[in-house]
Each structure stands twice: as C-alpha cells, then as structure tokens.
C-alpha cells in the first residue's frame, strides 16, 4: 500500500496542539511514528520513545523536526520501569509539561497456547501491558497538577474478540481496555481523559511477513467491509481526535479503527 498523506486537523482546530508536549512510546516506525509526526503537524513537541533501533528513531525524529517542532528520542523498553520515569523527566526538562501520553509500544510472540514458552508470555505482557501501566503511573502526577491531560492506550480488535495463536497478545490488549476504563473513572475529576484505540489489520512492519503471502492479504481485505487494509495514518487520525478539544467529553472509550472488520 502506498503511503497516504498525513491526516488533516479539523478546520475548527488548525493548531490544536500548539505549545503542547506529547510522549509516544514505540514511535520509531509504523503506527507510533505516524502518530508522532501527526502531533507535530498539529503543533506539539514530541518525546519519541524507541526500544533499540536508533537509526529508525533518528529518522522519525527528523520527520517531526521537519514539521518545525522539537523532538527528543529516548531509548529503552517500556517493560523497564525506569524508562517510564526517564520519558517523564525528559518531557518535563525539555518542554516543561506533558499533555498527551500515547502508549503505543507493543510486541507479539505468537504461538499456540500449548506450545507457548513462558518467556513469550512474560515478554508480551511486560511491554504491552505492564509498560503501559508504568508510563501511566509516571505521567499522572504531572497531568493532575496541570489539571488536564490525555492518555491513549493502543489496544486491538484481538483484545475484543480474541485471536487464535495470539493468546498472550490478545490477553494484553483486552487488559488494556480494563486499564483504560479504570483510569478514566479514577482521574476524570482531575481533568485527565483516558481512551483507547483498537486498530484492525494495519499494514506495518509487524505484519509484513503475513501480508507477503498473497492469499493472506486477500483474505484480510475481503473480510474488511471497507475493502482495504488499514494505514498507520488512519490510526493517527483517531489519536488526534481523541487528544483534541473536539473530544473533550469523551473518556473511557474504545475507538475501533478497523474498517468494519469487527463491530
């Protein structure tokens, strides 16, 4: 699929994120990268987290800077609790505030449950679920002190309906929905909104191996009512909406961005 242009901001909010600071985890490529650049296009400065691929992270940071915004790449797996604190501290030192946290970092270690290694279970839970918990806990005091903030958790349709061969991945994505709704109830009175995005089958490096098989690509397209695979920009559009004043009365919500694959 060829790259689509980045989503346009609402005409009523031409620079909805001007002067804001956004943390995006797992942002060196794919969905996270496009979200980081989309926020920059909307006026935000970005702390861009990545696990190990420094070259890809620097390329993503240059895309953000090309939009005229500041960008600070910070390395480390969010499964390490110290990384969440480092992301918070980097944002506060460089930008003086934290307006949006996007918990996008995620991995998969697929396999039938009877054959799944303990390490594959632990690794996926550590990044996808515990990492999001660490990052939420790290930024909440700042958002509460500001009297406002937005947290977005990247879940999946797998977390809503399960997926054969992905019991660990689906379990983390389902748990993120519970995390999202609980935090929305706990911190709404402090001006903090917490929502989740559940993408369908989005064309990224993570699924490139699957899509390399023509029959698999065709099957996913045919199963999607809109007749195409998702693009990272589709998810970036949702992230902008859920973080903008246009969604000021939306919290505890799971927004499905899946072309109708699951309703």
Q: Which residues are known to be catalytic?
A: 169
Q: Residue 114 phi/psi, 5° resolution?
A: -70, -20
Q: Is the distance from CB of 48 to CB of 72 less than 8 angstroms?
A: yes
Contacts of 74 (CB under 8 A, 6+ apart): 47, 48, 49, 50, 83, 86, 87, 90
CA atoms of 217 and 229, how far apart (whole Å): 8
Please name the helix (run of DSSP H) or strand (run of DSSP E) that holds residue 122, with its range, or none: helix 118-125
Sequence-ordered alpha helix ranges (H) in 67-213? 81-95, 118-125, 131-146, 158-161, 167-187, 208-211
- CA 100 vs. chain centroid, Å, equals 11
Q: Are strands 192-199 and 149-154 parallel, antiparallel or unpaired?
A: parallel
Contacts of 61 (CB under 8 A, 6+ apart): 48, 71, 72, 73
Q: Residue 196 phi/psi, 5° resolution?
A: -130, 155
CA atoms of 258 and 188, how far apart (whole Å): 27
Q: Quick count: other Cβ atoms within 10 Å of Cβ 202?
A: 22
Please name the helix (run of DSSP H) or strand (run of DSSP E) that holds residue 217, with its range, or none: helix 214-223
């Amino acid at each position: 699929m060829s790259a689509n242009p980045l989503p346009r901001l609402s005409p009523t909010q031409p620079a909805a994120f001007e002067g804001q600071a956004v943390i995006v985890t797992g942002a060196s490529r794919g969905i996270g990268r496009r979200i980081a650049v989309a926020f920059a296009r909307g006026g935000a400065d970005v702390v861009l987290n990545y696990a190990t691929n420094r070259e890809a992270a620097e390329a993503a940071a240059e895309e953000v800077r090309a939009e005229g915004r500041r960008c600070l790449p910070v390395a480390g797996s969010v499964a390490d609790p110290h990384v969440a604190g480092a992301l918070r501290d980097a944002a506060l030192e460089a930008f003086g505030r934290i307006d949006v946290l996007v918990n996008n970092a995620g991995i998969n270690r697929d396999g039938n449950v009877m054959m799944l290694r303990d390490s594959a279970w632990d690794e996926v839970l550590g990044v996808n679920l515990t990492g999001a918990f660490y990052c939420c806990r790290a930024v909440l005091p700042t958002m509460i002190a500001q009297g406002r903030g937005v947290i977005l958790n990247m879940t999946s349709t797998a977390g809503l309906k399960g997926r054969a061969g992905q019991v660990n991945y689906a379990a983390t994505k389902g748990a993120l929905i519970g995390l999202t709704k609980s935090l929305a109830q706990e911190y709404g009175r402090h001006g903090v909104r917490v929502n989740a995005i559940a993408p369908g089958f989005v064309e990224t490096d993570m699924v490139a191996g699957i899509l390399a098989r023509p029959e698999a690509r065709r099957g996913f397209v045919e199963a999607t009512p809109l007749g195409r695979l998702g693009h990272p920009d589709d998810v970036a559009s949702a992230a902008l909406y859920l973080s903008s004043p246009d969604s000021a009365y939306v919290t505890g919500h799971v927004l499905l961005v899946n072309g109708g694959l699951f309703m």
